[in-house]
Structure 1
Amino acid sequence: MTLSLTTLKRRTLLAASLAAAWPWAQAQTSAEATASPLRPSADKFFRAAQMDAASLSPDGRRLAMRSMGPAGRMMLTVLTLESMTPKVVYSSDAADVGNFVWVNNERLAFDLNDRETPQGKIDAAPGLFAVQHDGSEFKQLVERQRVWARNGSDSLSLQPWNTFLLNGSAQRVGDEVLVVRPESYDSKSVGYIKLLRLNTRTGRSVEVDGPLHSVGWWADPQGELRVAQTLEAEKGALRWRNPATGQWQVLAEFNAFTEGGELAVRQIGADGKLFVTAQRGRDKQACWLLDPATGEWSAEPLAQSPQFDVDAEVIARRDKVLGLRFTIDAEVTQWLDTDMQTLQKQIDKVLPRTVNRLSVPWTGDAPWVLIEAFVDIQPTQYFLFNRETRKFSRLGGERPDINAKAMAEMDMVRIKARDGLELPAWLTLPPGAAGTKNLPMVVLVHGGPFVRGPAWRWDAEVQFLAARGFAVLQPQFRGSKGFGAAHHQAGWRQWGKAMQTDLADAAAWAIAQGIADPKRIAIAGGSYGGYAALMGLVRDPALFRCAVAWVGVTDLDMLHSVSWDDVSDAYKKHGMPKLLGDRVKDAAELKANSPLTHAASIKQPVLLAYGSADKRVPLVHGEAFSKALKASNEQVEYVVYADEGHGWRVPANQIDFWNRVAGFLDKQLAP
Structure 2
Amino acid sequence: MLRMSTLLATACLAWAAPLASIAAVSPPEPPPVKDFFASPRFAGAFLSPDGKNVALLLRGPEGNIVLANMPAAGGPVRVIAGVRGMDVVGVHWINDRRLVYSAVRPDLEDDERARSPGLHAVNLDGSKHVLLVGHALNTQTRDPALPPNTHFLGSTHDGSDDVYVVRYNVFDEDFKGYRLFRLNTHTVNLTAVDAPNGVSNVLIDAGGVPRVATRREAGQVHLMYNDPAARTWRELAAYPGNAPTTLTPRFVTRSGEVYVSSRNGRNTVGLYRLDTRTGKLDPEPMVGLKNFDFDGTLVLAPDHDRVLGVRYETSEPMTAWADEGMQQVQQRVDALLPSTINELQVAADAVADAVVVHSYSDTEPGFWQLYHIGSGKLTPLGTSMPQINPLQMGETSFVHIKARDGRDVPAYLTLPRGERKNLPMVVLVHGGPWVRGGHFAWNPQVQFLATRGYAVLQPEFRGSEGYGYDHFMAGWKQWGRAMQDDVADAARWAIDQGVADAKRVCIAGASYGGYATLMGLIRDPALFRCGVDWVGVTDINLIYDERFTSTSQDAKTYTLPVLVGDQDKDAAMLKSVSPLENAAGVTQPLLLAYGGKDRTVPIEQGRKFHAAVKRTNPQVEWIEYEDEGHGWRYERTRIDFWTRVEAFLARQLGPR
TM score, norm. by length of structure 2: 0.93
From 359, 366, 374, give the equivalent of 2:352. 366
Structure 1 segment 587-666 matched on structure 2, within 5 A: 587-666=571-650
Corresponding residue of 1:547 = 531
Structure 1 segment 219-230 matched on structure 2, within 5 A: 219-230=204-215
Q: 1:17 to 1:491 in 2, by over 3 A?
A: farther
Contact in 2 for aligned 1:65/1:78 (Cα 8 Å): yes
Pair 1:430-2:416 in alignment: yes
Corresponding residue of 1:3 = none
For the residues of structure 2 that align with 1:260 and 1:246, how far apart are their CA atoms?
Answer: 31
Corresponding residue of 2:298 = 314
From 79, 96, 107, give the equivalent of 1:105. 96
Contact in 2 for aligned 1:148/1:157 (Cα 8 Å): no
Please state whether the residue corresponding to 2:508 is helix, strand or coil: strand
Tell me which moved more, 88-97 or 484-493. 88-97
Pair 1:420-2:414 in alignment: no
For the residues of structure 1 that align with 2:212 and 2:200, how far apart are their CA atoms?
Answer: 11
Pair 1:12-2:6 in alignment: yes
Please state whether the residue corresponding to 2:370 is helix, strand or coil: strand
Letter in 2 for 1:450: W
Please state whether the residue corresponding to 1:584 is helix, strand or coil: coil
Q: 1:288 to 1:10 in 2, by over 3 A?
A: farther
Offset of residue 298 of structure 1: 4.0
Offset of residue 179 of structure 1: 1.7
Pair 1:96-2:87 in alignment: yes
Letter in 1 for 2:164: L
Offset of residue 91 of structure 1: 3.1
Q: 1:157 to 1:542 in 2, by over 3 A?
A: same
The higher-RCO structure (CA 8 Å, 6+ apart) is 1
Structure 1 segment 50-61 matched on structure 2, within 5 A: 50-61=41-52
Corresponding residue of 1:76 = 67
Offset of residue 184 of structure 1: 3.1
Pair 1:127-2:113 in alignment: no
Letter in 2 for 1:249: R
Pair 1:158-2:145 in alignment: yes
For the residues of structure 2 that align with 1:41 and 1:407, how far apart are their CA atoms?
Answer: 13
For the residues of structure 1 that align with 2:626 and 2:69, how far apart are their CA atoms?
Answer: 37
Structure 1 segment 318-333 matched on structure 2, within 5 A: 318-319=302-303, 320-333=306-319
Please state whether the residue corresponding to 1:558 is helix, strand or coil: helix
Offset of residue 338 of structure 1: 1.9
From 428, 436, 442, give the equivalent of 1:452. 436
Offset of residue 666 of structure 1: 0.8
From 256, 259, 273, give the equivalent of 1:289. 273
From 349, 354, 362, give the equivalent of 1:376. 362
Contact in 1 for aligned 2:429/2:516 (Cα 8 Å): yes
Q: 1:635 to 1:192 in 2, by over 3 A?
A: same
- Gaps in structure 1 of 5+ consecutive residues: 1-6, 29-36
Please state whether the residue corresponding to 2:365 is helix, strand or coil: strand
Structure 1 segment 249-260 matched on structure 2, within 5 A: 249-256=234-241, 258-259=242-243
Offset of residue 17 of structure 1: 8.4
Q: 1:474 to 1:149 in 2, by over 3 A?
A: closer
Q: 1:420-446: CA deviations, max 9, x gaps?
A: 001111111111103xx2110000000
Q: 1:218 to 1:386 in 2, by over 3 A?
A: same
Tell me which moved more, 121-130 or 589-598. 121-130
Please state whether the residue corresponding to 1:501 is helix, strand or coil: helix
Corresponding residue of 1:190 = 175
Contact in 2 for aligned 1:414/1:424 (Cα 8 Å): yes
Q: 1:26 to 1:474 in 2, by over 3 A?
A: farther
Q: 1:505 to 1:17 in 2, by over 3 A?
A: farther
Pair 1:212-2:203 in alignment: no
Corresponding residue of 2:518 = 534
Please state whether the residue corresponding to 1:216 is helix, strand or coil: strand
- Gaps in structure 2 of 5+ consecutive residues: none
For the residues of structure 2 that align with 1:184 and 1:653, how far apart are their CA atoms?
Answer: 31
Q: Cα RMSD between the aligned structures?
A: 2.6
Q: 1:619-654: CA deviations, max 9, x gaps?
A: 121010000111111111111111311111111111
Contact in 2 for aligned 1:109/1:131 (Cα 8 Å): yes
Contact in 1 for aligned 2:72/2:370 (Cα 8 Å): no
Q: 1:91-131: CA deviations, max 9, x gaps?
A: 34422212211121111111211215678999994322211
For the residues of structure 2 that align with 1:596 and 1:148, how far apart are their CA atoms?
Answer: 40
For the residues of structure 2 that align with 1:579 and 1:132, how far apart are their CA atoms?
Answer: 47
Total equivalences in the alignment: 646
Offset of residue 58 of structure 1: 0.6
For the residues of structure 2 that align with 1:440 and 1:148, how far apart are their CA atoms?
Answer: 50
Q: 1:121 to 1:247 in 2, by over 3 A?
A: closer
For the residues of structure 2 that align with 1:93 and 1:192, how far apart are their CA atoms?
Answer: 32
Q: 1:122 to 1:363 in 2, by over 3 A?
A: closer
Contact in 1 for aligned 2:158/2:208 (Cα 8 Å): no
Q: 1:335-391: CA deviations, max 9, x gaps?
A: 122221221112112112211110111123331110001111101110101112221
Offset of residue 512 of structure 1: 0.7
Corresponding residue of 1:473 = 457
Offset of residue 309 of structure 1: 1.2
Structure 1 segment 505-544 matched on structure 2, within 5 A: 505-544=489-528
Tell me which moved more, 48-57 or 314-323. 314-323
Pair 1:263-2:247 in alignment: yes
Corresponding residue of 2:29 = 38
Corresponding residue of 2:423 = 439
Contact in 1 for aligned 2:52/2:352 (Cα 8 Å): yes
From 190, 202, 218, give the equivalent of 1:233. 218
For the residues of structure 2 that align with 1:474 and 1:664, how far apart are their CA atoms?
Answer: 20
For the residues of structure 1 that align with 2:414 and 2:12, how far apart are their CA atoms?
Answer: 14
Structure 1 segment 347-358 matched on structure 2, within 5 A: 347-358=333-344
Contact in 2 for aligned 1:614/1:645 (Cα 8 Å): yes
From 128, 152, 159, give the equivalent of 1:173. 159
Pair 1:558-2:542 in alignment: yes
For the residues of structure 1 that align with 2:141 and 2:527, how far apart are their CA atoms?
Answer: 63
Q: 1:543-597: CA deviations, max 9, x gaps?
A: 0000001111111111112345221112111111111111011111101101111
From 264, 268, 271, give the equivalent of 1:280. 264
Tell me which moved more, 478-487 or 12-21. 12-21
Corresponding residue of 1:34 = none
**What percent identity do the matched residue pairs reach?**
42
Q: 1:584-621: CA deviations, max 9, x gaps?
A: 11111101101111111211000011111111111121
Q: 1:143-190: CA deviations, max 9, x gaps?
A: 235799996xxxx73212322223x5463721011222222334x322
For the residues of structure 2 that align with 1:85 and 1:78, how far apart are their CA atoms?
Answer: 8
Contact in 1 for aligned 2:533/2:592 (Cα 8 Å): yes
Contact in 1 for aligned 2:542/2:549 (Cα 8 Å): no
Corresponding residue of 1:139 = 130
For the residues of structure 2 that align with 1:255 and 1:10, how far apart are their CA atoms?
Answer: 48
Letter in 2 for 1:250: E
Please state whether the residue corresponding to 1:88 is helix, strand or coil: strand
Contact in 2 for aligned 1:430/1:471 (Cα 8 Å): yes
Corresponding residue of 1:33 = none
Please state whether the residue corresponding to 2:646 is helix, strand or coil: helix
For the residues of structure 2 that align with 1:484 and 1:95, how far apart are their CA atoms?
Answer: 38
Contact in 2 for aligned 1:102/1:108 (Cα 8 Å): yes
For the residues of structure 1 that align with 2:246 and 2:109, how far apart are their CA atoms?
Answer: 37
Contact in 2 for aligned 1:599/1:628 (Cα 8 Å): yes
Please state whether the residue corresponding to 2:537 is helix, strand or coil: coil
For the residues of structure 2 that align with 1:503 and 1:150, how far apart are their CA atoms?
Answer: 47
Corresponding residue of 1:85 = 76
Corresponding residue of 2:488 = 504
For the residues of structure 2 that align with 1:285 and 1:125, how far apart are their CA atoms?
Answer: 32
